[in-house]
Structure 1
Amino acid sequence: MLALLHTSFVHVPVFDALRDADHPELALRHLVDEELLTRARAEGPDAVASDVESLLMTAVEAGATAVLCTCSTIGGVAEDAAGALGVPVLRVDRPMAAVAASAGRVAVVAALESTLEPTLALIRQEAAGRPVDLRTLLVEGAWERFEAGDHDGYLDAVAAAVDGITGVDVIVLAQASMADAAGRTTNGAPVLSSPRPGLTAAAVRVAKGAADAAR
């Protein structure tokens, strides 16, 4: 079983749909705690580290063999909990960051400022010393639309911001909630989102764990 840690309920149907389309045999358990993001934004991601670990430990005790954190702001904190949990803990945005790190010029787009630095740090980590030209774009007002439940308005605002980006090789949508904005853009550069590759990477780890256990 794969446990998914979310900071918004909107991610639950998104990842259920991806599971149904790509990994129908994968059992999911969704953990949603919106307060984690609220506190991480106000106090920094480290402020929620113990709460994240406790929440994930409960999931592991219930049978989760791997964990996927879908929140970019607290992804690093979740990964750091792996040692205490004894199971793989993955960030949903790491596979996306690995692709971006292979490009020369990367634009990172976010609706939350708290997401930008963790995403930049992750891309630099994946670049492993290779030069990457990173620039950022914070979509002003988009998150307020998201919080108000105006999902179409949120995605349209993100897509409009992406359409204004020039002079890059790839564009990164830093938050999982932005994924559907990729289909609304007219920008010619590749636009990367995290949910599908992140879930695929986690499904591989679950399958590997099951195969190892069966030996």
Structure 2
Amino acid sequence: MKIACLHTAHSNVAVFNAAAEDLGLAADALLHCVRPDLLAAVEQARTLTEAIRRETVALILDLSEEVDAILVTCSTLGPAADAVGDITGVPVLRVDHALAEQALVEGRHVLVLCTVATTLAPTRALFSTIAERRGASFETRLVPGAWTLFKTGDMMGYFRCIADATRDAIAEGFTSVVLAQASMAGAASLLESHHRPLTSPAAALAEAVRLLRTH
């Protein structure tokens, strides 16, 4: 079993390796492709342009020749995974899709936290589709100042900022808090178990493994 992870942040390599280890996957089960330039291009354009989408789709198609499944771990690039459809011959999963399926249970009111503005629109679109089907509700919120900390390399500051936003959300009465981006997952370890948010790496990898084992 070989799963490619398309990242836009180098720090996500360690995050997904840890999630793979927790799932009992072999040490070489993941193939990492890191393209921070794609996210930088979206941030500069302030949207996922057609040109960036095409470049991402071409990269996914190239990766599909080497692996059994592909995870697009950047939520901002998620719509490019949707655009691929079935043409690769291997499953192509958005890292936030399994997360949304897990979070949006009927009757729940969920807060979805993001740290980069370009993630908000694709995250809302994905969660809206699933929430309507599930009879759940959600809100999205940007964690102020967090992305600046990430871009300057202050990962502990980044995680603390997200953890504080999670505690605030629980105090406001949200049933569940979701961390939309894979880069945010480290914040979960700073929170008490009853405040622990849902994170995407474990959910997405588990879904990829399930698909590969049942097909």
Same fold (TM over 0.5): yes
Which residue is equivalent to 1:212? none
The one-letter amino acid paired with 2:174 is V
User: Which residue type is aligned with residue 157 of structure 1?
Assistant: C
Task: Name the CA distance, whole Å, in 1 between partners of 2:111 and 2:142.
Answer: 11
Are 2:51 and 1:35 equivalent residues in the alignment? no
> More displaced, 23-32 or 196-205?
23-32
1:93-147 Cα distance to aligned partner (Å, 9 max, x none): 1111012221421111111121122222212222344443322221111111111
Query: AA paired with 1:16?
Result: N
| Greater mean alpha carbon deviation, residues 152-161 or residues 40-49 | 40-49
| Matching residue of 2:141 | 137
How many positions carry a matched residue from both structures? 208
For residues 134 and 36 of structure 1, the distance between their equivalents in structure 2, rounded to whole angstroms, comes to 28
Q: Measure, in 2, the Cα distance between the counterparts of 1:83 and 1:156.
A: 39
Is contact 1:105-1:132 (8 Å) kept?
yes
Residue matched to 1:110: 114
| Cα shift readout 1:1-53 (whole Å, capped 9, x = no counterpart) | 21110001111111112222313236211111001111223332243111112
Query: In structure 1, how many angstroms separate the alpha carbons of the residues matched to 2:145 and 2:35?
Result: 23
Between the aligned partners of 2:133 and 2:205, the Cα distance in structure 1 is 27
| Structure-2 separation of matches of 1:111 and 1:12 | 18
Of 50, 56, 81 in structure 2, the residue corresponding to residue 52 of structure 1 is: 56
TM-score by length of 2: 0.88
Alpha carbons 2:167, 2:195 under 8 Å: kept: no
- Matching residue within 68, 74, 79 for 1:65: 68
Unaligned stretches of 5+ in structure 1? 210-215
CA distance in 1, matches of 2:191, 2:59: 36
Offset of 1:187 from its aligned partner? 8.6
Aligned CA distance change for structure 1 residues 112 and 177 (closer, same or farther; 3 Å): same
- Quote the offset at 1:180 in angstroms: 1.7
Match of 1:195 among 176, 190, 201: 201
What amino acid is aligned across from residue 66 of structure 1 in structure 2? Answer: A
Amino acid paired to 1:193: T
- Distance in structure 1 (CA, Å) of the matches to 2:135 and 2:210: 29
For 1:99-178, what aligned pairs fall within 5 Å after superposition? 99-102=102-105, 103-165=107-169, 166-178=172-184
Equivalents in 2 of 1:51, 1:42: separation in Å? 16
2: distance between equivalents of 1:160 and 1:189?
A: 11
Are 1:23 and 2:27 counterparts? no
The percentage of counterpart residues that share the same residue type is: 35
Q: CA RMSD in A?
A: 1.9
Query: Which structure 2 segments of 5+ residues have no match?
Result: none
What TM-score do the two structures reach when normalised by structure 1? 0.88
Deviation at 1:206, TM superposition (A): 2.8
